[in-house]
Amino acid sequence: MATMEKKKDSFSQSDFKKLSVSDKFKKVFNRFRTNLIVIFVVIILIDILALFNLHNIYAVYYEQNTQQGEVRITIQALAKYYLWAMSAEEESDRNDQIAGAQEKIQELNDGLDTLGKVYKGDLSTAYQHIKDIDNADDTLVSMMNSGASSSDIYAYYVGTVNEAIKVVVKDFKAIGISAKEQAQKAYTLAIVTVILMTVVSLVVVIYALIYSRKARAALTKSILDPIGAISSAANDMARGKLEVTIDTDAEDELGKLANDIEESTSVIGEIVKDIDETLRRMSSGDFSAGTKNAKLYIGDYEAISNAFNDISDNLSSTLLEVKNSSQQVSQGAVNMSQGANDLAEGSTDQAAAVQELTASVDSITEQTKQLAEVAEKSKTMATEVRDNAELSARKMHLVTDAMTRITEASAEIEQVTNSIEAIAKQTSLLALNASIEAARAGETGKGFAVVADQIGKLADQSSEAAKNTHQLIADTMDEINNGNSVVAETTEALDAMQHSVEEITEMIIQTGDLAEEQAQSMDEIDKGIEMISNVVQNNSATAEESSAVSQELSEQSESLNNLIGQFTINE
């Protein structure tokens, strides 16, 4: 029991915790196998003892009892042979009975020899008494052969032979009693041995059961306790908790697994913390670098570090392109504003020239009317009319030059508008790229998505304004072409008038008709000048609108530059 207690306590020792799982199972099952072997040996010993006792019962005590019975039967048969011999009337019959008696005496010796093989007592007395019977038999036979009387033979038989037979019977009775005592002792020894071996077997079985229970408890505790702690830590990890502590003192593979899980969760926690810091830095507009702790991202985690670097590089590159494009848009807006100012100044000059032309045409119209009324005085006023015609011709040339300048200014506005439209398209494309990059960035790109959307709207407004400017310039060019036609006709009319004035003396009679025709022509000129005035006013409005659009574009570009300036990027 002390050994069993010692082995039972061995499971609670620290050495058992230090064993590997396979060694724990090996230790437990080796002892369990030893217990089974002991139980098997005890059972074999019990079986051997049982077989030995059965063998003794059969081969010794059963054989003793059998031989004693045979001897008793032989003794009885011997006595009968003697009686039959004494009763025989014929000599041959008596000799046969005497031979049978001698044969039985030999059987007694043989039976005693066989009994001696299984009997552990002394048989020498029994041998001597059988020899006495044999000696008495010789005397009795001698008496029968010598012709002794029947009474003498009977008396010798009763006094000597029969007494010798009784002695042998007593001997075998004593042998039977002794054999019975030996059998009783053997039986008692067998029962005690079986009981003792059974008790030993029960003790071994009880110890095996206690050992199995203790071994099962020790194995269960040494395996399930770490597994439970690991399972609890795994549940915490599944719920998003990374700061886990596995409470176990196991030093086997499960303990190593617990330590590995703690270490891995610590590494994952550091990575998550760095990801949070990196995303916070990027959400605040700092795209100058990806993660600042690249050494944390080892193995498969390296893809996260590469992704951060790609996001930083791509957004920095995109913002840099947007910044450059914004500067180009800003410069284009300045150029557009300057072109609009130039257009406005040209429109002002055109308006002044048109007003002067209108005044001149009104004066010519009045003079033509006066010429019709005072045809008689035309000769006197011919010189004055000629001078006025020359002045009108010069002014018409000025109008022609002014219209040429309007045409050139309109062409310049067309070029500026083309530049604005190209910038608007490029800005719209950049806004689209920025929106895509913002969408890829997820939550961190929402602020940049708003900026990209505003840039896209600004590009659309710029494109729409450019289209409107194109249309206005096209209308202006049409009106200018019409004005050029009217001016050309006016110039031709003035040239004809100048030629007529030179010949007015010769054609004074036709002055009235010519004056009426000239009045009609002047009405047409007045209408043409009115159209030119409308075109000039439209040009002026377009110039003001272009100036406002360029101002707004410049302000939006400045706002975009300010927004981009909030980001930290690699340049």
Report the alpha-carbon distance of residue 334 to residue 342 in Å, rounded: 12
> Which has the closest alpha carbon to 444: 318, 270, 286?
286
- Sign for the CA dihedral angle at 518, 519, 524, 525 comes to positive
Helix (H, G, I), strand (E, B) or coil at 568: strand
In the chain, domain spans? 2-223, 301-565
> Which has the closest alpha carbon to 343: 538, 484, 474?
538
Q: How much is the CA Rg of the chain, to the nearest whole Å?
A: 74
Q: In the prediction, which pLDDT does 1 show?
A: 40
pLDDT tens track, the chain, 571 positions: 444 444 445 555 566 666 777 776 777 777 767 877 887 787 887 778 767 766 766 667 677 778 777 888 888 898 899 889 888 888 889 889 999 989 999 998 998 888 888 887 888 888 999 899 989 888 988 988 888 888 888 899 888 988 988 898 888 888 878 877 877 887 788 788 888 888 888 888 898 788 778 777 776 776 777 777 777 777 777 777 767 677 776 666 776 777 777 777 777 777 877 787 787 877 777 767 667 777 777 777 778 877 867 777 777 777 677 677 767 766 776 676 676 676 667 667 766 766 776 776 677 667 666 766 765 665 566 577 667 667 766 776 776 776 677 677 667 767 767 777 777 777 778 777 777 877 777 777 677 677 777 777 877 877 777 677 778 777 777 877 777 776 677 777 667 766 766 776 566 557 666 766 766 776 777 777 677 677 667 766 776 776 677 677 777 777 777 776 766 766 6
Report the alpha-carbon distance of residue 196 to residue 202 in Å, rounded: 10
DSSP state of 20: -
- To the question of domain 301-565 being in CATH 1.10.287, the answer is yes
Which amino acid is residue 123, in one-letter code? L
Q: In the prediction, which pLDDT does 57 show?
A: 66
DSSP 300-364: GGHHHHHHHHHHHHHHHHHHHHHHHHHHHHHHHHHHHHHHHHHHHHHHHHHHHHHHHHHHHHHHH
> Which has the closest alpha carbon to 438: 557, 321, 314?
314
Q: 321: alpha, beta or left, given left = phi > 0 and alpha = psi -120 to 50?
A: alpha
